Amino acid sequence: MATVQKQSSPSGLGWVIGLIVAVTAWRLLIADLLPLTRDEAYYYDWASRLAWGYFDHPPGVALLGLGAQFDPGSVFSARIGALLLGAASLIAVWRLYLAAGLRAGQGLVLALLLAATVFPSLVAGVITTPDTVLALCWPLALHEALRALKGQRRRWLSAGLVTGLGLLGKYTMVVIGPVFLWALLRTDPKALRTRWPYLGGLLALLVLAPHLLWNAHNDWLTLRFQFGHGFSTDTGPLALAATELPAASGPQAYRAEPPAAMDLGERLGSLAGFLGEQLAFWGLVLVPLGIALWRMAWRANRPGARTDPPTSTDHRGESRRSGQPITLPQPGLAPLDPTAVPLLSAAALFPLALFGTIALGSEVEANWAAMYVVGAVPFVALLLRPSARWVWSAAGLNLALVSLYALHAATAFPPLPDVAQRMVRESRGYASLADYAADLSAPVIADRYQFAAMLNFHQPQLHVTQWPNIRRPSEYSRGRIQPLPDLETLQRNGFWLIARKFSPPMIPGFEPQETRTAYGCKDGQFSMLEGATGWWASDCDDPANVWRLYYYAPRAKSSATASIHDTHQVAAPGQ
């Protein structure tokens, strides 16, 4: 049996370093070009007050946003944490695939290329999300587990440590537990009679313990929210500080509608949509992948093709009949290390199986299972080795597509269909709206967390929070990252509500006295008109964003006008 070299060749190492540097350089350019997203602004506001937990997620994503505190208002500085973890993720993936048996000239560089240019990797390495933490901890935990499965059983401690850190980033890291168990049963079952896997699990719990204690002291807030969000179920009322303010009522008030029951067709459609989204993560790599799979099927079914059943293998991956290592059923492909096959296959299949099952009865977001790509890439890379040139072209086109989208998000050029305008809608006009709000003398409050976050990012001194019961609650409802307004002050001076609602919400004790409409155009123009003007009253044909600004006065002072509460001259409609 031929021995496999233990280290990649110098030329292979050069390709690896060059690829990591090139992708990181591209991410730096895109991070500077791409406008701020609303969820990013929300997480950056968390970084202003670090804690062991937040309404929506564990604390990991808040740490990534610390750059926003050093250079307020700079999107690039705010994304430094995501960029650093993105580069570290590429290194972790490279080391994982190297440990799995891939070598230079035998699929290693191709696997790293695929891992770096699938859409989840391109996004997680630029935009700050909880998935950015997961993108590092998932391959790193797999690497440590693989070392443990190869005989270094003490490495279950480091696997547990990284798993705990991943859980502090995003709860979906928990899926790696059954992945580890499956790999142990298939590869090293005797390790289950040692202390190391259990100590690793205990270490993961110890790392997560401060967050669990935080949850216990905060009405199990994050766990309840994520459980309800993930399984589309009601987890009961939440104890939030914002209840000290009078909740909005009437037709504009927030109501958490229970999800409608799915019939069989809807369940199958939901599953098909989920699987289609997972395939779409590969982008244009699907073209050479589809051709390779077709060729494999054709070769397997052509006359004279070998039809012998596969031989059984022992836990080391050796044929009991021939003693030869396992190879993929494709001529000319280098074998993966047999120890890595159960681990990587489980890392690919378990997330798909879990969230595919959930999709049969609940709405599932595409990114929840995105970590499956890390486990799938080595198999795909080996399959595509004969088509390496096409893979490089497809990966380059993936980069080009994301670059084009980033250019569109920043400049609104080239024009794209409305379905692809999300980034434009998420960014246009918020900086100008924040500048306008900064000159209003009455307190400014938002109807939803996204608006509050964007205003706070561009004008931190505003301390915008969220009024209760107009939209779903958020971290602002706790009154920690931004203080809740003093009710007595509001009853004296009134306040401005920035909302998407095109009629003013009913707020007990207050009455809307004035309405203004703000427009953020795709070309960057911003305008403010007096009154409840329509969508098309702006200076641009198709505004990206339209906001209502409602001034609320205390009912006892309903005869007062709002004009004394700001210094702006507002243009009349049509002027």
| Rounded distance between C-alpha atoms, residue 129 and residue 138, angstroms | 15
H/E stretch holding 551: strand 545-554
The length of the chain, given as a count of residues: 575
| Rounded distance between C-alpha atoms, residue 463 and residue 104, angstroms | 53
Q: Does the structure show a pLDDT above 80 at 308?
A: no
Query: 99-138 burial string, b = 16+ CB within 10 Å, else e?
Result: bbbbbbbbbbbbbbbbbbbbbbbbbbbbbbbbbbbbbbbb
The pLDDT confidence band at residue 479, using thresholds 50, 70 and 90, is: very high
The pLDDT confidence band at residue 459, using thresholds 50, 70 and 90, is: very high
Is residue 102 within 8 Å of residue 111, measured between CB atoms? yes
Using left for φ > 0, alpha for ψ between -120 and 50, and beta otherwise, residue 288 falls in alpha
Two structure tokens written together for 300: 């397997």
So what's the pLDDT on residue 319?
Answer: 37
The DSSP line for 65-79 is TTHHHHSTT-HHHHT
Q: Does the structure show a pLDDT above 90 at 255?
A: no
Strand partners, 318: 325
Is residue 321 within 8 Å of residue 311, measured between CB atoms? yes
| Rounded distance between C-alpha atoms, residue 436 and residue 571, angstroms | 14
So what's the pLDDT on residue 310?
Answer: 42
Two structure tokens written together for 504: 């003013």
Dihedral, CA of residue 340, residue 341, residue 344 and residue 349, to nearest 10: -160
So what's the pLDDT on residue 10?
Answer: 42
Q: Does the structure show a pLDDT above 80 at 66?
A: yes
Strand partners, 326: none
Is residue 34 within 8 Å of residue 127, measured between CB atoms? yes
Burial class, 202, CB count within 10 angstroms (exposed 0-12 / middle 13-18 / buried 19+): middle
Based on C-alpha coordinates, what's the Rg of the chain? 27
The most distant pair of C-alpha atoms in the chain lies apart, rounded to whole Å, by 93
Amino acid at 299: R
Beta strands 545-554 and 495-499: pairing type? antiparallel
The pLDDT confidence band at residue 305, using thresholds 50, 70 and 90, is: low
Amino acid at 5: Q
pLDDT tens track for 481-508: 999 999 999 999 999 999 998 899 999 9
Q: Does the structure show a pLDDT above 70 at 330?
A: no
Where would I find the H helices in 385-465? 388-411, 422-427, 430-438, 449-458
Mean pLDDT of 345-367: 96
Mean pLDDT of 215-236: 91
pLDDT tens track for 379-416: 999 999 999 999 999 999 999 999 999 999 999 999 88
| Residue given tokens 């681990």 in the structure block | 343
Q: Which of 39-43, 241-245, 531-535, 554-558 shows the lowest per-residue confidence on average (mean pLDDT)?
A: 554-558
pLDDT tens track for 153-185: 999 999 999 999 999 999 999 999 999 999 999
Q: Which of 210-224, 505-519, 521-535, 561-575 shows the lowest per-residue confidence on average (mean pLDDT)?
A: 561-575
Where would I find the H helices in 448-566? 449-458, 487-493
Q: Does the structure show a pLDDT above 90 at 443?
A: yes
**Quick check: helix, strand or coil at residue 530?**
strand
Average pLDDT, the chain: 90
| Rounded distance between C-alpha atoms, residue 468 and residue 239, angstroms | 12
Where would I find the H helices in 286-371? 286-301, 340-359
Considering 235-244, 348-357, 553-562, the range whose residues carry the highest mean pLDDT is 348-357
H/E stretch holding 115: helix 108-117
pLDDT tens track for 34-53: 999 999 999 999 999 999 99
- CA-based end-to-end distance of the chain: 83
| Rounded distance between C-alpha atoms, residue 486 and residue 491, angstroms | 9
So what's the pLDDT on residue 105?
Answer: 77
| Rounded distance between C-alpha atoms, residue 88 and residue 374, angstroms | 14
Contacts of residues 15-18 at CB distance under 8 Å and 24 or more positions apart, as own/partner, are 15/104, 15/109, 16/94, 16/104, 16/108, 16/109, 16/112
Q: Which of 245-249, 298-302, 565-569 shows the lowest per-residue confidence on average (mean pLDDT)?
A: 565-569
pTM for this one?
Answer: 0.90
Where would I find the H helices in 221-261? 221-231
